[in-house]
């Protein structure tokens, strides 16, 4: 293992990306650099996963250097159970992108490399300011990827995503500053270290406003209804790799941010509005599901599908018990593999047939049998069929939601139904039926492409049948977090009860 | 005895000429009206014991500059079609007057606060060419030289600008 | 005390491995069209046959155990553990599961063999057999799972295979729609199932989530919770087993190849709901009302299915409604805590309904995919084996003694009387008569009378590989009933004792006699009416009034379509056309518009005309002067 | 009398400003600017008389020199404008627009 592992994982792709952007490389050599880095990153992250010890608690692979000592800002990195799976997903999923899409330009690959490094930075950051820095930075390459290499309406899409994310980020910045100030007021020293901030237990009106700042910023990224409107445009116009990055990893970083910063720091105010937030998430899930039902554009449908599934993750975030939190952590990766793969495959369809119009397809199953098998498995993975990874995640979330609130649980369960309606419609429409003219332009996967996709397929199934090794790594952290949250809520409840006694 | 009378007459002429400048549509008429103002002003300078300035106002302003302007106007052979459409003139005038009123009031307030009651007697030789020349070439030598350079630059500039041949400027 | 058995895992793995091998082979050869259909079929048949042999071994093994402790298990690994929730992935077999496994693998093997003939020459047969094997594996997981979640893996797995096989002839979009409908309706049921499991977990599952743990703690359930969980799980069963109100997918599912209809949509998968209720008998024993509700849903479904079955003209749809109706009976049995009676009917029904479907498939292939019974007729002479075997199946379905259906159906009806539900009993008898009528309507119209098919002379009996399974199943339909003979007919209710699902009560001689007499009477009446109508010659009827309404299936499909499907689709389209671009996007667009307007305004100010800038200056100076003036003057 | 000369100077200056902002004819605008200069000059002269100092006269002379330079350039520009656009409209000049 290279030391320090986390800095290496951040700066290797970042530097490689800059090199690719600066040096006058050809398209193919840029791609080769990207692929090599991606494979290295995959090896690193898998190694990291194997080395991670869930029992010890706290951050592993911790690195810390002061950046602005006067304000307690530091270059602090670390991994714990909350971030591990996401980190591995962000580290290991990229080779597929380089292998599947070969016809893009140098800048495209450079951006892809940079976005990987920044995302890993956001995931590993153990300092709020550092997190904020990477959280903002990771959108920059995405802007360029959409704006330069996107579809015909890319400018509007870029504008929209910019407006949304910047609005969210400003709120978050305000909340970050508030947290720093509060910490200084309570302890007398400045610090933005996550470990220090996590000891804060805030309550009151101002804390609720700060909480909303965080929640809004993360809700934009996740995205939660009704802040999702940037998503269909961005996902549709973005090139496949950017869509993959957005849906598979970046959306999860929003959810991760909630787990990392909101749950431990604001247990009491969150307890007050968690029902509302969970309800919003459920509404968004149903809304996006129904919206997906009405789409005629394959990528747009998948975009809404992704948003709908993120709704389920959103529900899990606010249920505040160990099943739901573990489910969320697990579902993040499950969603990344299945929906991410769907986006990649849809990107391949678009690249080969130059069409995204669902109505123009039919009979693709006979035209590209191997492709359709992979698509079907990814689809089943996304609808949460038992035996796939999503089932474990969704089931845990639903179980947690039922405990949290029966109505929310029932509504969360409806995702099972809604997801199949549009997914089966999509599959039946595109892969079944008489073969159309557009469909005949489709080419099946080459052996290399099949071998590229196969690991993801295997991962979907393996994570469904043998989730143990994965869950064992994350469950202790989820347990600790939910225990913290419930203890704080209980304490707050006790205080309220005392007040009630005093009044009576 | 006749001085104040002359003063007010010239002032009236200056004002009328200026108003004419603003009102006449054709630049030729406006220029003629402006010449009246300039000449009237020259008279006023004289009344204010500035004899050198009186002479130069007549020679340079009313003479050289005005004739240059008139020459150019005639040279361009301006047709009514060339004249700009000034339909919103009255609105601009009203608005401008309103916007300027505070400034004018402020200036008038300033003048009043000087509380000049009587005109002091001018010392002998005041404003004559010799006296002014002494001041100009002792205290004001440097600005004078700078202005000479300015004039040179303007001369060259004017030649460059107006002297360009058609099609030679791109 | 559980006993280990190493047979369980191979039994499940074999068909799954078969599916995998077939899938890979199919994908490898799909371009060259290298492999013939029957090669795939022969490979596919290995899995089920070997599993059947293993099931026989399991039977021997379990019979070797002491009578009160007959549970075999094979725990594999801990599936996942989160907080209080610890779920094991394991397999478990008790007599109930062994019985299910036996007939599933037996019927499954026969249908695999039959399919070799049925799918002859089909270019996609590789996929078909892979799905069929996958289905069998999933079904075995469903039956043998050691806990509800493992069962759910199989539960959804069979649903997936059902979907894939219904959409098998996917060039016709109607078939694809039928497949989608099946999967989606099943999913609605599954939602109930999952919610039931979640509630069950929070109630009594935190010490272990296997059946064994749950059974121990079931008495802790409050009546309300038991009722809720029971009904939620039953919602899952209504989806899988095509009961009211989720039965609508099953008739459409007949779009799949006929062996699929026989295996999945008659004999095995659709009975999973009944199995589930019997499996959760420890839960339903805690809540009598839940059972009664199940029984009522069952009998109403039975009635509805029978009514629809009487007026259909598609041979497979008649059988499909008959299946729905018979499933209703089974739910009456398990709902009224007569678990062994319900399961017994599942068992006998598997034989005769699979037989009828395979027979129908034989007819359909012989007539080149003609499914309208009013285009058939007089096929007795042309398809003698099919005719005889189907007649046996029809007699068994109609409940003619001593065939299988007679015993199992009567046992359920007796249970209805014995537990004090005379109305259910009365309806059951009525449905029995209707069953006899529509079954023999089918037989008489298809096999008797004058030929109506243009190619009548060319019709020939099906291949041996198809008729032999028919004969074996016919033998089963004759004999299956004897394994649970009631005392009144000289038997000892062997099956019930062996299953040991409920406490044994003294036999109700009077009630049994009454039931036998009544059902024999209505059976005779039903067959008689059918005979009067359709022998010697049947005339294609034109339905009016109620009959027409019943032929149109009470317009339930249309009702569901306009109540659920269209509103959802409409909402989706509305979101795409109106809500997304106009309403939800509105705030963003408004912000964008504000920015634009602001930019335009600023840009208009920056007109570029010096004169205008002079005006600004003048205005500015004016304001400034005003301010200074106010300051100075006061 | 000096007081009134100052009043006149203010009036001429304001009229010049009005001319600049109300008229679109380049000649008139140009002459209005000259008018403003003359208003200022009158002010210089009047103050020089008031304070009995000839600095005001020198300033007035310098202003006239500047005005002459300005006239030369402005007229050259006007000639160019007329040559290229055939117009005498200040609104033709909007190169300052971003």
Whether residue A38 contacts residue A97, with contact meaning beta carbons closer than 8 Å, is answered with yes
Return the CA Rg of chain B.
21
Query: Which residue is closest to B33 within chain D, CA to CA?
Result: D31
If DSSP codes are grouped into helix, strand and coil, which group holds residue C76?
A: strand
Distances (CA, A) of C567 to B129, C436, C572, C575: 100, 40, 8, 12
What is the Cα Rg of chain C in Å?
Answer: 31
* Structure token digits, residue A163: 């407006």
CA distance A293 to A301: 7
Q: Across the interface, which of D22, D72, D73 has its CB nearest the CB of B96?
A: D22
Token pair of A134 as six digits: 């990477």
Distance CA A179, CA A336 (A): 31
pLDDT of B170 over the 60 cut: no
Of the ranges C19-23, C32-36, C293-297, C378-382, which one carries the lowest mean pLDDT score?
A: C32-36
> Which chains share 3+ C-beta pairs under 8 angstroms with C?
A, B, D
A223 touches A168 (CB < 8 A)? no
Positive/negative CA dihedral, C499, C502, C507, C513: negative
Cβ contact, residue pair D67, B61, below 8 Å: yes
Find the mean pLDDT for residues C528-546: 81
pLDDT digits (tens, 9 = 90+) for D71-85: 888 888 888 888 877
| Spatial CB neighbours of C586, under 8 Å, sequence gap ≥ 6 | none
Asked if D69 and B84 come within 8 Å (Cβ–Cβ), the reply is no
Q: How far apart are CA B54 and CA B77, in angstroms?
A: 32
Is A172:A211 a contact under the CB 8 Å cutoff?
A: no
Q: Which CATH number characterizes residue B51's domain?
A: 1.20.120.1200
Q: Residue B153 domain-assigned? A: no
CB D25 within 8 A of CB D19: no
Rounded CA-CA distance A262/C66 in Å is 58
| CB within 8 Å of B12: residues ≥ 6 apart | none
Whether residue C568 and residue A410 make contact (CB cut-off 8 A), yes or no, is: no
What contacts C559, CB < 8 A, 6 or more positions away? none
Q: Is there a domain that residue A100 lies in? A: no
**Residue A334 contacts residue A389 (beta carbons within 8 Å):** yes
Q: Is the pLDDT of residue A102 over 80?
A: no
pLDDT at residue C134 in the model:
93
User: In chain B, which among 83-122 make CB contacts under 8 A with chain C?
Assistant: 92, 95-96, 98-103, 105-106, 109
A500 burial via Cβ count (<10 Å: 0-12, 13-18, 19+): exposed
Q: Which residues of D touch C602 (CB under 8 A)?
A: none
Cβ contact D28–B114 (<8 Å): no
Q: Residue B51's Cα: distance from chain center in Å?
A: 17
Q: Please give the domain boundaries of chain D with CATH numbers for all domains.
A: 2-89 (1.10.287.3510)
Question: D40 to chain B nearest CA, in Å?
Answer: 11
Structure tokens at C617: 């200056």
Residue A470 falls within a domain, yes or no? yes
Residues C252 and C175: their CA atoms lie apart, in Å, by 8
Burial class (CB in 10 A: 0-12, 13-18, 19+), B123: exposed
* pLDDT given at position D45: 92
Q: Residue written as tokens 């692929």? A: A35
B162: chain D residues, CB-CB within 8 Å: 75-76, 79-80
C602 touches chain D (CB under 8 A): no
Q: How many angstroms separate the CA atoms of C127 and C165, rounded?
A: 9
In chain C, the residue whose alpha carbon lies closest to the alpha carbon of D93 is C609
Do D21 and C614 lie within an 8 Å CB cutoff? yes
Lowest mean pLDDT of A99-108, A298-307, B91-100, C379-388, name the range.
A99-108
Which position has the token pair 């106002």?
A: B57
Q: Which residues of C touch A287 (CB under 8 A)?
A: 575
**B103 interaction partners in chain C (CB closer than 8 Å):** 618, 621-622, 625
What does the alpha-carbon distance between residue C483 and residue C402 come to, in Å, rounded to a whole number?
Answer: 12
Mean pLDDT of A229-254: 87
Average pLDDT, chain C: 86
Asked if residue C334 lies in contact with residue C279, where contact means CB atoms within 8 angstroms, the answer is: no
Whether residue A500 is predicted with pLDDT greater than 80 in this model: the reply is no
For residue D9, pLDDT beyond 90: yes
Cβ–Cβ contact C619 with B under 8 A: yes
Record: contact D20-C613, CB cut-off 8 A: no
8 A C-beta contact, residue A113 and residue A145: no
More confidently predicted of A501 and C80? C80
Which residues on D lie below 8 Å from B135 (Cβ)? 54-55, 57-58
* ω into C481 cis (within 30 of 0): no
Contact present, A127 and A75 (Cβ < 8 Å): yes
Greatest alpha-carbon span in chain A: 78
Residue D98: per-residue pLDDT: 53
What percentage of residues in chain A have a pLDDT greater than 90? 15
CA C536 to chain centre: 37
Q: Hey, is the C-beta of C207 within 8 angstroms of any chain B C-beta? A: no
Statement: residue C586 has pLDDT above 50:
yes
Helices (H), A205-297: 205-221, 230-237, 240-244, 251-257, 263-265, 267-293
Higher pLDDT, A69 or B117: A69
Whether B136 sits inside 8 A of D58 (CB atoms) is yes
Q: Which residues of D touch B107 (CB under 8 A)?
A: 10
Rounded Cα distance between C92 and C72, Å, is 6
Q: Do C82 and A478 touch (CB under 8 A)?
A: yes
Q: Which of C23, C156, C176 sits opposite A385 (nearest CB)?
A: C156
User: Would you call C27 and A396 a contact, using CB atoms and an 8 Å cutoff?
Assistant: no
Q: What is the pLDDT of residues C93-122, one digit of tens each?
A: 888 899 899 989 999 999 998 888 888 888
Chains A and B touch (3+ CB pairs under 8 A): no
Distance (Å) from the C-alpha of residue C200 to the closest C-alpha of chain A? 10
Banded pLDDT at C1 (limits 50, 70, 90):
low
CA torsion C345-C350-C355-C356 (nearest 10°) is 60
Give percent of chain C above pLDDT 70: 97
Which residues 6+ apart lie within 8 Å of B23 measured at CB? none
- The angle subtended at Cα C73 by Cα A469 and Cα C158, nearest 5°, is 70
> For C608, which of D20, D29, D96 is closest by C-beta distance?
D96
> What's the CA gap between C242 and C166, in Å, rounded?
15
Q: Under a CB-based contact definition with an 8 Å cutoff, are residues D31 and B72 in contact? A: no
Nearest Cα residue to C103 out of C37, C56, C152: C56
State yes or no: chains D and B have 3 or more CB pairs below 8 A: yes
Beta-bridge partners for C4? C73
Residue A236 lies in a domain: no
Which of C272 and B168 is assigned the larger pLDDT?
C272
- Would you call C604 an interface residue with chain D, using a CB distance cutoff of 8 Å? no
Tokens encoding A337? 């593999």
Contacts 24+ apart (CB under 8 A), B52-58: B52/B127, B52/B128, B52/B129, B52/B132, B52/D57, B52/D61, B53/B127, B53/B132, B53/D41, B53/D45, B53/D57, B53/D60, B53/D61, B55/B129, B56/D61, B56/D64, B57/D41, B57/D64
Residue given tokens 């094997």 in the structure block: C133
pLDDT averaged over every residue in chain B: 85
Give Cα C622 distance to the centre of its chain.
Answer: 87
Domain membership flag for residue A482: yes
Q: Percentage of residues in chain C with pLDDT exceeding 90?
A: 24
pLDDT of amino acid D96: 59
Cβ partners under 8 Å of residue C609, min gap 6: D90, D91, D93, D94, D96
Residue A60: its H or E element: strand A60-68
- Say how many domains are in chain B: 1
Which of the four pLDDT bands, split at 50, 70 and 90, describes residue D31?
A: very high
Residue the block writes with tokens 């497979």: C316
Q: Give the pLDDT score at A492.
A: 55
Element (H, E) at A75: strand A73-79
Q: What is the mean pLDDT of residues C164-185?
A: 89
The shortest CB-CB distance from D45 to any of B34, B53, B153 is to B53
Query: Do residues C26 and C34 lie in contact, with contact meaning Cβ atoms separated by under 8 Å?
Result: no
Give the one of D17, D64, D69 whose C-beta lies nearest to B61's C-beta. Answer: D64
ipTM: 0.72
- Domain presence at residue B162: no
Does residue A135 sit within a domain?
A: no
For C190-243, how does the pLDDT look when each residue is reduced to its tens digit (9 = 90+)?
A: 999 999 999 998 888 888 888 888 888 888 888 898 999 999 999 999 999 988
Q: Which of B69-73, B102-106, C33-37 has the lowest mean pLDDT?
A: C33-37
DSSP assignment letter at C264: I
For chains B and D, what is the number of CB pairs under 8 angstroms? Answer: 234
Give the residue numbers spanning the domain of B8: 2-139
Give the whole-number percent of chain A exceeding pLDDT 70.
96
Average pLDDT, stretch C272-283? Answer: 91
**Residue B158 resides in a domain:** no
Alpha helices in C461-585 (DSSP H): 464-479, 494-499, 509-534, 545-551, 556-560, 566-574
Does C608 contact D20 at a Cβ distance shorter than 8 Å?
A: no
| Whether C609 and D21 lie within 8 Å, measured CB to CB | no
- A181/C580: higher pLDDT: A181
Question: Does C touch B (3+ CB pairs < 8 Å)?
Answer: yes
- Rg of chain A taking only CA atoms, in angstroms: 22
Q: What local confidence, expressed as pLDDT, does residue C505 receive?
A: 64
CA gap C294, C337 in Å, rounded: 10
Return d(Cα A115, Cα A134) in angstroms, integer: 10
Instruction: Give the model's confidence band at B84: pLDDT under 50 very low, under 70 low, under 90 confident, else very high.
Output: confident
Helix (H, G, I), strand (E, B) or coil at C121: coil
Chains A and C touch (3+ CB pairs under 8 A): yes
CA–CA dist C457, C459 (Å, integer): 6
Query: Is C616's pLDDT higher than 90?
Result: no
The whole-number pLDDT of residue A503 equals 42
Report yes or no: C255 and C179 within 8 Å, Cβ to Cβ: yes
In a domain, A36, yes or no: no
Residue C76: phi, psi to the nearest 5? Answer: -100, -60
What confidence tier does C154 reach under pLDDT thresholds 50, 70, 90?
A: very high
> Neighbours of D (≥3 Cβ pairs closer than 8 A)?
B, C
Q: Which of A163, A420, A482 to mutate to test the interface with C (most CBs of C within 10 A)?
A: A420
């Amino acid at each position: 293992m290279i030391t320090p592992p986390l800095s290496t994982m951040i700066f290797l792709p970042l530097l490689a990306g800059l090199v690719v952007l600066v040096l006058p490389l050809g398209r193919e050599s840029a791609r080769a650099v990207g692929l090599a880095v991606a494979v290295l990153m995959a090896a690193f992250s898998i190694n990291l996963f194997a080395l991670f010890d869930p029992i010890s608690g706290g951050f592993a692979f911790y690195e810390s250097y002061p950046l602005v000592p006067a304000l307690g800002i530091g270059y602090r990195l670390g991994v714990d159970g909350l971030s591990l799976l996401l980190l591995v997903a962000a580290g290991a999923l990229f080779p597929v992108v380089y292998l599947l899409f070969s016809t893009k330009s140098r800048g495209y690959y450079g951006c892809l490399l940079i976005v990987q490094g920044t995302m890993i930075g956001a995931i590993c950051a153990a300092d709020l300011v550092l997190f904020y820095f990477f959280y903002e930075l990771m959108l920059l390459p995405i802007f360029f990827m959409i704006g330069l290499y996107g579809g015909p309406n890319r400018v509007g899409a870029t504008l929209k995503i910019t407006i949304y994310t910047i609005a969210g980020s400003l709120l978050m910045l305000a909340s970050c500053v508030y947290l720093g100030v509060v910490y200084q007021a309570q302890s007398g020293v400045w610090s933005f270290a996550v470990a220090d901030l996590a000891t804060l237990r805030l309550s009151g009106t101002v804390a609720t406003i700060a909480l909303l700042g965080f929640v809004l910023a993360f809700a934009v990224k996740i995205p939660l209804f009704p802040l999702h409107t940037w998503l269909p445009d961005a996902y549709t116009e973005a090139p496949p790799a950017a869509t993959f990055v957005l849906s598979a990893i970046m959306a999860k970083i929003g959810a991760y941010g909630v787990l990392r910063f909101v749950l431990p720091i604001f247990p009491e105010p969150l307890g007050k509005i968690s029902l509302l937030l969970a309800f919003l998430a459920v509404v968004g899930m149903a809304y996006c599901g129904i919206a997906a039902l009405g789409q005629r554009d394959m990528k747009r449908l998948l975009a809404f599908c992704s948003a709908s599934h993120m709704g389920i993750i959103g529900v899990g975030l606010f249920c505040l018990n160990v099943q739901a939190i573990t489910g969320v952590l697990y579902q993040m990766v499950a969603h990344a593999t299945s929906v991410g793969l769907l986006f990649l495959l849809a990107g391949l369809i678009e690249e080969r047939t130059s069409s995204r119009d669902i109505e123009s397809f039919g009979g693709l199953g006979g035209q590209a049998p191997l492709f359709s098998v992979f698509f079907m498995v990814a689809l089943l993975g996304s609808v949460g069929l038992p035996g796939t990874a999503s089932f474990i995640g969704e089931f845990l979330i639903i179980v947690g939601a039922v405990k949290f609130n029966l109505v929310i649980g029932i509504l969360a369960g409806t995702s099972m139904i809604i997801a199949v309606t549009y997914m089966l419609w999509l599959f039946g429409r595109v892969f079944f039926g008489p073969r159309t003219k557009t469909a005949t332009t489709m080419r099946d996967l080459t052996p290399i492409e099949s071998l590229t996709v196969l690991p993801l397929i295997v991962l979907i199934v393996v994570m469904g049948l043998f989730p143990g090794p994965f869950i064992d790594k994350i469950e202790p952290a989820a347990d600790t977090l939910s225990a913290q949250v419930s203890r704080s809520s209980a304490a707050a409840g006790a205080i309220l009860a005392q007040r009630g006694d005093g009044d009576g | 005895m006749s001085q104040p009378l002359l003063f007010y007459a010239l002032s009236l002429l200056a004002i009328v000429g200026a108003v004419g400048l603003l009102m006449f549509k054709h630049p030729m008429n406006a220029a003629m009206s402006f010449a009246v103002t300039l000449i009237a002003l020259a008279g006023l300078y004289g009344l204010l014991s500035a004899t050198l300035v009186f002479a130069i106002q007549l020679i340079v302003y009313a003479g050289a500059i005005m004739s240059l302007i008139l020459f150019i106007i005639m040279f361009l052979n301006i047709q009514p079609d060339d004249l700009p459409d000034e339909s919103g003139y009255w609105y601009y005038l009203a608005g401008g007057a309103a916007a300027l009123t505070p400034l004018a009031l402020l200036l008038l307030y300033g003048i009043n606060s000087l509380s000049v009651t009587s005109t002091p007697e001018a010392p002998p030789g005041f404003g004559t060419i010799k006296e002014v020349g002494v001041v100009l070439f002792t205290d004001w030598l440097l600005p004078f030289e700078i202005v000479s350079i300015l004039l040179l630059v303007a001369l060259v500039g004017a030649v460059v600008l107006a002297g360009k041949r058609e099609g030679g400027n791109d | 005390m559980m006993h280990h058995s190493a047979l369980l895992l191979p039994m499940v793995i074999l068909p799954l491995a078969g599916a995998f091998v077939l899938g890979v082979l199919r994908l490898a050869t799909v371009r060259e069209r290298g492999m013939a259909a029957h090669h795939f079929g022969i490979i596919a048949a290995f899995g089920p046959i070997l599993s059947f042999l293993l099931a026989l071994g399991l039977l021997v093994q379990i019979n070797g155990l002491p009578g009160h402790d007959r549970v075999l298990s094979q725990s594999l690994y801990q599936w996942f553990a989160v907080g209080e929730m610890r779920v094991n992935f394991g397999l478990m077999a008790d007599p109930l599961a062994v019985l299910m496994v036996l007939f599933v693998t037996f019927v499954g093997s026969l249908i695999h063999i039959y399919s070799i003939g049925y799918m002859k020459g089909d270019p996609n047969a590789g996929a078909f057999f892979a799905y069929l094997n996958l289905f069998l594996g999933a079904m075995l997981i469903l039956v043998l799972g050691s806990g509800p979640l493992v069962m759910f893996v199989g539960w959804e797995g069979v649903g997936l295979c059902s979907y894939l096989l219904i959409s098998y002839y996917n060039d016709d979009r109607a078939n694809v729609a039928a497949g989608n409908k099946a999967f989606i309706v099943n999913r609605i049921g599954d939602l109930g199932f999952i919610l039931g499991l979640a509630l069950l977990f929070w109630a009594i599952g935190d010490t272990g989530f296997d059946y064994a743990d749950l059974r121990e703690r079931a008495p802790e359930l409050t009546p309300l919770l038991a009722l809720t969980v029971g009904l939620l799980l039953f919602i899952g069963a209504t989806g899988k087993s095509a009961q009211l109100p989720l039965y609508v997918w099953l008739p459409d599912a007949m779009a799949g190849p006929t062996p699929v209809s026989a295996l999945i949509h008659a004999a095995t998968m659709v009975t999973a709901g009944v199995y589930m209720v019997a499996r959760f008998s420890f839960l339903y024993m805690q809540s009598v009302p839940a059972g009664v509700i199940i029984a009522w849903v069952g009998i109403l479904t039975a009635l509805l299915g029978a009514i629809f079955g009487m007026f259909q003209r598609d041979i497979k749809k008649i059988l499909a409604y008959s299946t729905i109706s018979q499933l209703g009976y089974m739910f009456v049995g398990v709902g009224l805590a007569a678990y062994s009676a319900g399961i017994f009917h599942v068992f006998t029904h598997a034989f005769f309904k699979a037989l009828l479907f395979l027979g129908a498939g034989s007819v359909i292939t012989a007539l080149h995919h003609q499914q309208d019974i009013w285009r058939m007729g007089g096929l007795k002479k042309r398809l003698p084996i099919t005719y005889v075997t189907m007649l046996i199946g029809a007699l068994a379905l109609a409940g003619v003694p001593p065939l299988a259906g007679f015993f199992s159906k009567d046992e359920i009806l007796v249970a209805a009387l014995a537990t004090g539900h005379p109305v259910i009993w009365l309806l059951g008898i009525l449905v029995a008569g209707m069953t006899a009528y529509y079954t023999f309507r089918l037989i008489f119209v298809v096999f008797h009378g004058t030929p109506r098919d243009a190619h009548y002379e060319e019709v020939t009996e099906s291949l041996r590989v198809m008729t032999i399974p028919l004969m074996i199943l016919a033998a089963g339909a004759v004999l299956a009933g004897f394994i649970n003979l009631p005392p009144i007919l000289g038997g000892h209710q062997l099956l019930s004792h062996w299953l040991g699902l409920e406490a044994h009560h003294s036999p109700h001689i009077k009630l049994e006699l009454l039931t036998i007499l009544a059902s024999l009477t209505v059976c005779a009446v039903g067959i008689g009416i059918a005979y009067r109508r359709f022998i010697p010659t049947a005339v294609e009827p034109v339905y009016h009034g109620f009959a027409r309404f019943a032929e149109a299936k009470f317009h339930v499909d249309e009702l569901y379509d306009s109540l659920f499907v269209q509103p959802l689709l409409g909402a989706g389209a509305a979101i795409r056309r109106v809500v997304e671009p106009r309403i939800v996007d509105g705030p963003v667009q408004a912000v964008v518009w504000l920015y634009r307007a602001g930019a335009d305004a600023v840009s208009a100010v920056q007109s570029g005309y010096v004169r205008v800038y002079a005006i600004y200056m003048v205005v500015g100076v004016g304001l400034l002067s005003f301010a200074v003036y106010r300051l100075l003057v006061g | 009398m000096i007081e009134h000369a100052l009043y006149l100077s203010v009036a001429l200056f304001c009229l010049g400003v009005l001319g600049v902002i109300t008229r679109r004819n380049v000649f008139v605008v140009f002459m209005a600017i000259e008018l403003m200069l003359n208003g200022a000059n009158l002010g210089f002269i009047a103050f020089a008389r008031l304070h009995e100092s000839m600095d005001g006269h020198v300033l007035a002379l310098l202003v006239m020199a500047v005005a002459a330079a300005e006239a030369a350039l402005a007229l050259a520009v006007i000639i160019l404008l007329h040559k290229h656009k055939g117009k005498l409209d200040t609104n033709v000049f909007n190169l300052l627009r971003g």
